Amino acid sequence: MTAANLDNVAVVLHRPRYAGNVGSAARCAKNMGIRRLICSGAGPFEREAMVTMATHFAADIVDAMEYYDDLRDALADFQYVVGTTARLGSARGPALTPREIAPRLAELSQNNRVAVVFGSEDRGLSNRALHLCHAVVTIPVSDAMRSINLSHAVMIVCYELFTAAVPPRGTFTPRLADARELEGMYDQIKEVLKEIGFLNPQNPDYWMIHIKRLLARAGLQARDVKIIRGICRQVSWAVRNGPRT
């Protein structure tokens, strides 16, 4: 059995509100062997407040933390993105538990960069943020107390990944297309589908959610994305100019 390649795994905190929670998340990530911490849509936070909770053992994680204004930019270089949520619904996608998804992430991490995204303490991740993710994870909790502290959620997910093992399959796990490549493809698909009248121009994202989920299950590689984008270009050309003879 092979362990996850934690060098290829990052914890992404989207719009965290409190420096102390960021520091605690840094400590949890390092406890579980994950050294890359990314913050989007918030900060920079006061270092001392973060290190107080991270302790000096995880101060290096705090000091190396990357800041991005936009979540899409933060995820651009990752091949597989998992979003965490406590709120479920058809618009948010089918959700797995951390234990269910951990073996898959361990396998993907061998040759792909994996990001696990956590939302703000009060609101979590929006539907728009979850639409940037390949999979959705929810942590089972008691109905008596459904709210989980941000750093506790980070610890639970990272622990499951830390203890997961890749089942022996005898097959090579390829490098998947990264988020930048995929989002560019999805933007192009959306425009083409609007051109041919498949998408309602007033609410194009409704069907795009389902299209994204469908293609995410396929595990597209960079060359697959190029093929699909080439098809989109030809369809767009045909719509505007008529079929070639």
Question: What pLDDT digit, counting tens, does each position of 95-152 carry?
Answer: 899 999 999 999 999 999 999 999 998 889 998 899 899 999 999 988 888 788 999 9
CATH architecture of 179-241: Orthogonal Bundle (1.10)
Residue 91, pLDDT > 70, answer no
pLDDT band at 35 (very low <50, low <70, confident <90, very high): very high
Q: Residue 62: pLDDT above 60? A: yes
Neighbouring CB atoms inside 10 A of 176's CB total 25
Q: Are the beta carbons of 19 and 25 closer than 8 angstroms?
A: no
Across the range 216-237, mean pLDDT stands at 86
Pick the more confident residue, 135 or 172. Answer: 135
CA 179 to mean position of chain CA atoms: 9
Other CB atoms closer than 10 Å to residue 24's CB: what's the count? 23
Listed residue (205, 13, 3) closest to 91, CA to CA = 205
Count Cβ atoms below 10 Å from residue 199 Cβ, excluding itself: 20
Closest CA relative to residue 120, chosen from 159, 91, 96, 85: 85
pLDDT score, position 243:
62
Contact predicate 58/30, CB 8 Å: yes
Range name among 90-104, 166-180, 188-202 with the lowest pLDDT average: 166-180
Q: Once rounded to an integer, what is the mean pLDDT over residues 214-230?
A: 86
Quote the pLDDT of residue 13.
Answer: 98
Domain boundaries, the chain: 2-166, 179-241
Superfamily of domain 2-166: SPOUT methyltransferase, trefoil knot domain (3.40.1280.10)
Average pLDDT over all residues of the chain = 89
